[in-house]
């Protein structure tokens, strides 16, 4: 292992730059040449490599997004696309690759490993929806961003005695909605992993109003339904002034939290160590506070699960 490369793929997440920095500096510390691949798998197929040095990752620890840029690639899913990528890696003399991204990115990395090329994955997605790890890079920042937004919305909701529906990201996983709703004191949290009853939500809003509460906050994950649909139902059934706020990609950006910087740094360094040790086709993860690694195929067999005890706790505290 003399030369390694690192790329980011899929949706960006705060902390990706911290992980890139860790891969580059740990690699140089280990005596390796380190290359960055721009524009994800598209850049891998076209040979968009840049050699990284210590200075190239200076002053990026605190920056959101990814300095290597990111893209989803349909062409890389084909056998021809994968062969093009392998040819580019061979031409530059790259011996191992670190892929920072989500489960789709790891499927691509697994294709390379299946053809004999060593790859290591680092889970980077704000949705926290990858099996095989308790935590993914970007989740903590996204939750804090959502909580800060909800706190500010609550101020105006109280001032105008309104009900607010906050739609957060999470197409197939409700982690952001659950954590943000719990930490912001939402009356109801609607997530893909739990059935919701509109009448239960309405009853909670009415009960709060009857005891003199000036506002209500409902948090919904985008994968369940549109926030506007929930808002219309609430207004129709209660007559209360109801507004909807869709946080959208606002949750993707921003400076990563200290926790995201710490986890990104640890995972990035671990990925390099695994390559040096001869490991391949595995994803770095965190289980019970400890760094672990899991083969891509094992992680793919399991489904991401949410901690439903937090959901039930939130319901009991929002009465």
Distance separating alpha carbons of residues 48 and 29, to the nearest angstrom: 24
C-alpha atoms less than 13 angstroms from C-alpha of 17 in its C-beta half-sphere = 19
Residue 297: predicted pLDDT: 87
Segments of the chain with pLDDT less than 70: none
The 10 Å CB-count burial string (b at 16+, else e) for 261-297 is bebbbbbbbbbbbbbbeebbbbbbbbeeeeeebbbbe
Tell me if 186 is assigned to a ligand binding site: yes
Nearest to 234 by CA among 212, 255, 208, 265: 208
Tokens in use for 199? 């009448």
Tokens in use for 248? 């959208």
Tell me if 211 is assigned to a ligand binding site: yes
Residue 304: predicted pLDDT: 83
127: annotated active-site residue: yes
Q: Phi, psi (5° rounding) for residue 292?
A: -135, 175
Tell me if 169 is assigned to a ligand binding site: yes
Tell me if 308 is assigned to a ligand binding site: no
C-alpha atoms less than 13 angstroms from C-alpha of 203 in its C-beta half-sphere = 7
The 10 Å CB-count burial string (b at 16+, else e) for 46-75 is eebbeebeeeebeebbebbbbbbbbebbee
| Residues in a beta bridge with 97 | 5, 119
Tell me if 214 is assigned to a ligand binding site: yes
Tell me if 154 is assigned to a ligand binding site: yes
CB 13 within 8 A of CB 43: no
Residue 287: predicted pLDDT: 93
CB 124 within 8 A of CB 15: yes
Tell me if 43 is assigned to a ligand binding site: no
Tally DSSP H helices, then E strands, for the chain.
11, 11
The 10 Å CB-count burial string (b at 16+, else e) for 141-179 is bbbbbbbebbeebbeebeeeebbbbbbbbbeebbbbbbb
Distance separating alpha carbons of residues 297 and 103, to the nearest angstrom: 11
Tell me if 24 is assigned to a ligand binding site: yes
pTM of the model: 0.93
Choosing from 12, 42, 127, 140, which is the catalytic residue? 127
Q: At what angle do helices 227-238 and 198-210 cross, to 10 degrees?
A: 50
In the block, residue with structure tokens 């009857």: 210
Residue 66: predicted pLDDT: 96
Residue 257: predicted pLDDT: 98
Question: Over 67-131, what HEC string results?
Answer: CCCCCCCCHHHCHHHHHHHHHHHHHHCCCEEEEEECHHHHHHHHHHHHCCCCEEEEEECCCCCCC
């Amino acid at each position: 292992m003399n030369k390694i490369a690192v790329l980011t793929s899929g949706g960006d997440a705060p902390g990706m730059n911290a992980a890139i920095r860790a891969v580059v500096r740990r690699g140089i510390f280990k005596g390796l040449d380190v290359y960055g691949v721009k524009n994800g798998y598209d850049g891998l197929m076209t040979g968009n490599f840049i050699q990284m040095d210590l200075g190239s990752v200076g002053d990026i620890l605190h920056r959101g997004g990814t300095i290597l840029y990111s893209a989803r690639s349909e062409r890389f899913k084909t056998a021809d696309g994968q062969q093009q990528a392998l040819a580019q890696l061979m031409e530059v003399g790259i011996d191992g690759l670190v892929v920072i991204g989500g489960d789709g990115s790891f499927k691509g990395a697994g294709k390379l490993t299946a053809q004999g090329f060593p790859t290591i994955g680092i889970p980077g997605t704000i949705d926290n929806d990858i099996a095989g790890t308790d935590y993914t890079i970007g989740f903590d920042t996204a939750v804090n961003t959502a909580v800060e937004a909800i706190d500010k919305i609550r101020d105006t909701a109280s001032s105008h005695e309104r009900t607010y529906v906050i739609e957060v990201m999470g197409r197939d996983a409700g982690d952001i909605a659950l954590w943000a709703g719990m930490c912001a004191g939402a009356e109801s949290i609607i997530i893909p992993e739990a059935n919701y009853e509109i009448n239960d939500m309405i009853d909670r809003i009415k009960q709060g109003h009857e005891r003199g509460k000036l506002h209500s906050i409902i948090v919904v994950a985008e994968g369940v339904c549109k926030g506007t649909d929930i808002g219309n139902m609430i207004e129709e059934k209660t007559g209360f002034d109801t507004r909807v706020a869709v946080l959208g990609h606002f949750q993707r950006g921003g400076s990563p939290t200290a926790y995201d910087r710490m986890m990104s740094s640890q995972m990035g360094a671990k990925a390099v160590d695994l390559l040096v040790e001869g490991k391949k086709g595995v994803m770095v993860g965190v289980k019970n506070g400890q760094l672990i690694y899991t083969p891509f195929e094992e992680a793919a067999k399991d489904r991401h699960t949410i901690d439903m005890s937090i959901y039930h706790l939130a319901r009991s505290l929002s009465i």
